[in-house]
Amino acid sequence: MAEMDPALGQDRCPGTSWNDLMASDSRPAPAILTEESYSYLGSEPLDAARYTSEEFARLERERMWPYVWQYAAREEDLPEAGDFVVYENAGRSWLLSRQDDGSIKAMANVCLHRGRKLRTEDGTADSFICPFHGFQWGKDGTYQGNPCPWDFKHLENEDMALPEAEVARWQGYVFIREAKGGPSIEEFLAPLPEHFKRWNHGECTTVICVAKEVAANWKVTAEAFMEAWHTLVTHPQILAFTGDCNGAYWFWGDNINVNHVPFGVLSPHLDPDGKSQQWIVDEFIKYNGRSSDNYDPSGDPYAVQVPDGMTARAALGAALRTAYAEQAGYSLDHATDAELIDALVYNVFPNFAPWGGFMPNIVYRWLPGKTPDTCVMEVRVLARIKQGEPIPRAVPRNTLRLDQKWTEAPELGGLGAVFEQDMDNLPFVQEGLHASVNGKVHLANYQEIRLRQFHRTMDKYISGELGKKA
């Protein structure tokens, strides 16, 4: 590797910084929003084959996926005993099943007779009877027999329980790990549990869930959501209220990183002349998922009138603080504007991205497809349930095919149109990576540090430094 130049990575977009904004917001920002955690990790190009080759996908399947905690479901997907979720990833299929004592088991979703998947859709069942010949297992994975036991005497002393994966739970998320042993979920997620103490996702339920097949590698797709600077060219309509290049890009250890993107401020790329603070709010309302035909401003906390001398951020912060406190059933007086307005987009290696803050939180997940050229992206929105009230069951997942558009999921509001702008790039990124002559991908030193950390961690799994020993 080339010698690292310590001066690289120190530059930031001229003008207002994220921490300047935090200092001018209406409440003191918590330390988790102000303590920078960046270091330069080098500027070496990445090999394009990481995104296109079956060989690299195989290394991921063998050396990475079995050893990480995979976000497999949310608690509200399977609230009652007997509820189960089919979770499929990286060539494996799992049944996550709620037990009578409230625990969750993850069992291989493969019949131990001749291999049929036991279930192909989520549901509720006390036992899993294979639809081919009727081998049967309890919801805890214990073997319960088959219709012709006289012909299977040789299995009487075999271990016929469904193989299990480890399960861990945190703030409503259910994780599995295929290979036993390794860091606990708290160790794996650190420092996320500390950061999310403020924004507990355990108080939330899934109110929107849309998944879509995408014609691009799962890492290409994930990385389109790891930086905000493509807003300038890909999503120009949101520059009016997005601090696209005054964001913060931080990472911790191997697994966690964040991009804090301020909203309710004019992009530094736009000429501020003649653009009032009210204009910022008006554009925000128009494009930020609130531009449907039957839009009613009376119920929209974003529809604020900015008093003279006040910033759009402060006015939005005040309105949203009241609205979200109502929803949560507790005071949000301590919440600073950023926690009510901004995109606080965390990533957990390898494919889980929960947003922080007190607003309804977006959660992304990216799963590799059957070839390196496709993936499935899932988007959830979590809403806070009023304190003391039970968490309702999740809405069912709305699954879109490859040939469908995000805008065909009307529940996403204006977000669907923004995702479609991303989709306008991704298949052509994938094709371009295949077509690349020099086979190199170059990254920004600051705004793409999350990608750099991601690939560094991936390399640690592939080399055996993490996970399976080489």
Which residues are at the interface with ligand FES (CB under 6 A)?
111, 113-116, 130, 132-135
Q: Which does 116 bind (CB under 5 to 8 A by kind): ligand FES, Fe ion, none?
A: ligand FES
DSSP summary character for residue 17: -
Q: Which does 111 bind (CB under 5 to 8 A by kind): Fe ion, ligand FES, none?
A: ligand FES
Q: Which does 196 bind (CB under 5 to 8 A by kind): ligand FES, Fe ion, none?
A: none
Sequence-separated contacts (24+) of 302-307 with Cβ below 8 Å:
305/278, 306/276, 306/277, 306/278, 306/281
Residue with the shortest CB distance to Fe ion: 422
Q: Which does 295 bind (CB under 5 to 8 A by kind): ligand FES, Fe ion, none?
A: none
Closer by beta carbon to Fe ion, 244 or else 422: 422
3 phi, psi to nearest 5 deg: -60, 135
Shortest Å distance, C-beta 170 to Fe ion: 27
* Cα–Cα dist 348/364, whole Å: 10
Size of the site for Fe ion (CB under 5 A): 1
Give 434: exposed, middle or buried? Use CB within 10 Å, 0-12, 13-18, 19+: middle
Q: Which does 306 bind (CB under 5 to 8 A by kind): Fe ion, ligand FES, none?
A: none
Residues 382-421, one symbol each (x = binds Fe ion by CB under 5 A, - = not), give ----------------------------------------
Q: Which does 422 bind (CB under 5 to 8 A by kind): Fe ion, ligand FES, none?
A: Fe ion
254 binds Fe ion (CB under 5 A): no
Closer by beta carbon to ligand FES, 11 or else 126: 126
Longest dimension (CA), the chain: 85
Q: Which does 434 bind (CB under 5 to 8 A by kind): ligand FES, Fe ion, none?
A: none
Shortest Å distance, C-beta 5 to ligand FES: 59
Name the β-bridge partners of 376. Answer: 213, 367
Name the β-bridge partners of 314. Answer: none
Tell me the DSSP string of 105-171. Answer: EEEE-B-TTT--BS-SS-EE-SEEE-TTT--EEETTS-EEE-S-GGG-GGGTTS--SPPEEEEEEET
Q: Which residues touch 43 (CB under 8 Å, ≥6 apart)?
A: 2, 4, 5, 8, 442, 443, 445
Rg (CA), the chain: 24
Closer by beta carbon to ligand FES, 15 or else 145: 145
Shortest Å distance, C-beta 462 to Fe ion: 28
∠ at Cα 214 (362, 92), nearest 5°?
85
Q: Which does 269 bind (CB under 5 to 8 A by kind): ligand FES, Fe ion, none?
A: none
3-state per-residue secondary structure call for 195-223: HCCCCCHHHEEEEEEEEEEECCCHHHHHH
Shortest Å distance, C-beta 231 to Fe ion: 7
* Cα–Cα dist 360/355, whole Å: 9
CA 458 from centre of chain: 17
Q: Which residues touch 462 (CB under 8 Å, ≥6 apart)?
A: 59, 60, 63, 64
Shortest Å distance, C-beta 347 to Fe ion: 14
Q: Which does 456 bind (CB under 5 to 8 A by kind): Fe ion, ligand FES, none?
A: none
Q: Which does 454 bind (CB under 5 to 8 A by kind): Fe ion, ligand FES, none?
A: none
Closer by beta carbon to ligand FES, 162 or else 314: 162
Shortest Å distance, C-beta 13 to Fe ion: 18
227 binds Fe ion (CB under 5 A): no
Shortest Å distance, C-beta 43 to Fe ion: 24
Shortest Å distance, C-beta 141 to ligand FES: 15
* Cα–Cα dist 263/240, whole Å: 9
Q: Which does 132 bind (CB under 5 to 8 A by kind): ligand FES, Fe ion, none?
A: ligand FES
DSSP summary character for residue 240: G
∠ at Cα 47 (41, 48), nearest 5°?
125
Shortest Å distance, C-beta 240 to Fe ion: 16
Closer by beta carbon to ligand FES, 133 or else 386: 133
Closer by beta carbon to ligand FES, 18 or else 128: 128
Closer by beta carbon to ligand FES, 43 or else 136: 136
Contact 342, 263 (CB under 8 A): yes
Shortest Å distance, C-beta 421 to Fe ion: 6
338 phi, psi to nearest 5 deg: -60, -35
Find the binder of Fe ion among 366, 422, 423, 446 (CB under 5 A).
422
Closer by beta carbon to ligand FES, 109 or else 231: 109
Residues that bind Fe ion (CB under 5 A): 422
